[in-house]
Amino acid sequence: MRKKVILVTGGAGEIGTALIDELWKQGVRNILSLDIRPLPLLDFKVTHVLGDICDRPLLERLVAEYEFDTIFHLAALLSTRAEFTPEAAHRVNVEGTLGLLQLASDQSDWRGKPVLFIFPSSVAVYGLPDLATKAQFPRVREWEWNYPRTMYGSNKLYCEMLGVYYSKYYRQLAVERPVMVDFRAVRFPGLISAFTLPSGGTSDYGPEMIHAAAQGHPYACFVREDTRIPFMAMPDAIRALLQLAATPAEKLSRRVYNVTSFSLSAGEFREWVLRAFPNAQVIFEPDLRRQAIVDSWPEDMNDNDARRDWGWQPEYNLERTFTEYLFPNIVQRYRST
Ligand code: SER
């Protein structure tokens, strides 16, 4: 008998560690984590496999041993990083996802029940051509402005489409239709964790600013003060993933949902940081190339469908994110290091 598990790819990443932590707190023990990096020190023991999602023989070995009931496919190269190595990003972000979708489809058919495949997509799938258009369309719907200008955004958008394909149309000309994977995705805004820092993203200026201030380090923000994009506290991101995973299929009217919490400019971000760390030194030194990427992302995302279909609502608005989540935990974090 194969052991039934929840597979978390990118288990050692920012979202991965927070998700595994939450699953464990909820009493879930059958977690299998996969990442090219070792898991950071956790207070508990999760089965962790060191390896690459593109390593097909490795995946085959895992399939021989485990039955994947749910897959949280979080492994990816983020937007800034991907621009330096676009082909490597495509390999991991697209080919890696394709391999896992195929594996999930085979398992769905073999066991006669869909594997649940949860995928974090991103605000990076949007691409507004200029600032005037960004101002004119401040709160985008899922199907609007899907013209990403980064490799990462293109990868995420295409993988959403692959996910829909594998859950609705896979082998559509076969005489006997296989049991297909149950793919569901959320498009996240920039995520901010009190405990970890992102690496290689373009919304990283937010978390970097506050973590630098908490450590007493000066920070040069790489976007203009008036740059506005949506953000979300990490606990809400984890709730969104788990809530979407737990929703009965008949309630879902789409497979890809926007979710967000609050939008603020980099200048307003600095004001919030200064409230808790009045001596913080934050200056603005825009990097024109990274700026252009963030300028193409919308100010806000319309997440009405997630609210209507599965009751999505962030617990942390702007004020709570800073005062109840970020500040206390970040102060604590750097006090103890
Ligand atoms: N935070 C991500 C990035 O900046 C967007 O999904 O790449």
Report pLDDT digits (tens) over 98-117: 999 999 999 999 999 999 99
The closest of 83, 58, 61, 62 to 71, measured between CA atoms, is 62
Task: Tell me the pTM.
Answer: 0.97
Structure confidence by residue, pLDDT tens digits, 196-216: 999 899 999 999 999 999 999
Residue 248 CA to ligand 1 center (angstroms) comes to: 29
Q: Which atom of ligand 1 is nearest to the CA of 78?
A: 7
In a domain, 119, yes or no: yes
Task: Give mean pLDDT, residues 81-85.
Answer: 98
pLDDT at 337: 60
Range of the domain at 141: 76-193+230-262+297-317
Task: Indicate left, alpha or beta for 179 from its phi (over 0: left) and psi (-120 to 50: alpha).
Answer: beta
Cα-to-centroid distance, 198 and ligand 1 (Å): 9
Domain count within the chain = 1
Contact 36, 17 (CB under 8 A): no
- How many Å lie between the centroid of ligand 1 and the Cα of residue 69? 28
Q: Which of 204, 234, 295, 296 to mutate to test the pocket of ligand 1 (most atoms within 8 A of CB)?
A: 204
The whole-number average pLDDT for the span 89-104 is: 98
How many other C-beta atoms are found inside a 10 Å radius of the C-beta of residue 64? 8
Whether residue 41 lies inside any domain: the answer is no
Ligand 1 atom 2, closest CA: 201
At 41 the pLDDT is: 72
Tokens for 269? 């971000």
Confidence of residue 44 (pLDDT cuts 50, 70, 90): confident
- Within 6 A (CB) of ligand 1 lie 78-79, 122-124, 152, 188, 190, 201-203
Q: Is residue 43 part of a domain?
A: no
* Whether the predicted pLDDT of 43 surpasses 90: no
Q: Contact at 8 Å (CB) between 204 and 198?
A: yes
Amino acid letter for position 329 = N
Q: What is the DSSP string of 260-308?
A: --EEEEHHHHHHHHHHH-TT--EEE---HHHHHHHHTS-SEE--HHHHH
In angstroms, how far is CA 248 from the centroid of its own chain?
Answer: 22
> How many C-beta atoms surround the C-beta of residue 27 within 10 A?
6
Give 205's contacts (C-beta < 8 A, 6+ positions apart): 221, 222, 223, 266, 269
| Contact (Cβ atoms closer than 8 angstroms) between residue 317 and residue 261 | yes
The answer to whether residue 135 sits within a structural domain is: yes
Ligand 1 atom closest to the Cα of residue 203 is 4
Closest ligand 1 atom to residue 121 Cα is: 6
Distance of CA 122 from the midpoint of ligand 1 (Å):
7
Q: Give me the CATH number covering residue 257.
A: 3.40.50.720
Atom of ligand 1 nearest to the CA of 156: 6
Q: How far apart are CA 204 and CA 207, in angstroms?
A: 6
Alpha-carbon separation of residue 80 from 122, 199, 289 (angstroms): 13, 9, 10
- 81 in Cβ contact with 203 (< 8 Å): no
Residue 181 dihedral angles phi and psi, to the nearest 5°: -70, 150
- Asked if the structure places residue 246 within a domain, the reply is yes
Is 204 part of a structural domain of the chain?
no
Q: Which atom of ligand 1 has the smallest separation from the CA of 152?
A: 7
- Neighbour tally for 291: CB within 10 Å: 15
pLDDT over 90 (residue 335): no
- Atom from ligand 1 closest to the CA of residue 188: 6
Choice from 157, 202, 205, 261 to test ligand 1 binding pocket (greatest atom count within 8 A of CB): 202
**Cα 85 to ligand 1 centre (Å):** 16
What are the DSSP E strand ranges found in the chain? 3-9, 31-35, 47-50, 66-73, 116-122, 139-140, 182-188, 190-192, 219-221, 228-233, 256-258, 262-265, 282-284, 300-301
CA of 42 to the centre of ligand 1 (A): 25
Ligand 1 centroid from CA 295, angstroms = 13
How, if at all, do strands 219-221 and 182-188 pair? unpaired
116-149 tens-digit pLDDT? 999 999 999 999 999 999 999 999 999 999 999 9
Q: Ligand 1 centroid vs 166 CA: distance in angstroms?
A: 25
Q: 271 vs 208, 281, 328, CA distance in Å?
A: 14, 11, 17
Query: Residue 94 CA to chain centroid, in angstroms?
Result: 15
Q: What is the mean pLDDT of the chain?
A: 96
Residue having the nearest C-alpha atom to atom 3 of ligand 1: 201
In a domain, 280, yes or no: no
Q: Residue 124's closest CA among 75, 159, 91?
A: 159
Instruction: Kindly give the distance from the C-alpha atom of residue 202 to the centroid of ligand 1, in angstroms, as a whole number.
Output: 5
Report yes or no on 8 lying in a domain: no
Whether residue 147 contacts residue 109, with contact meaning beta carbons closer than 8 Å, is answered with no
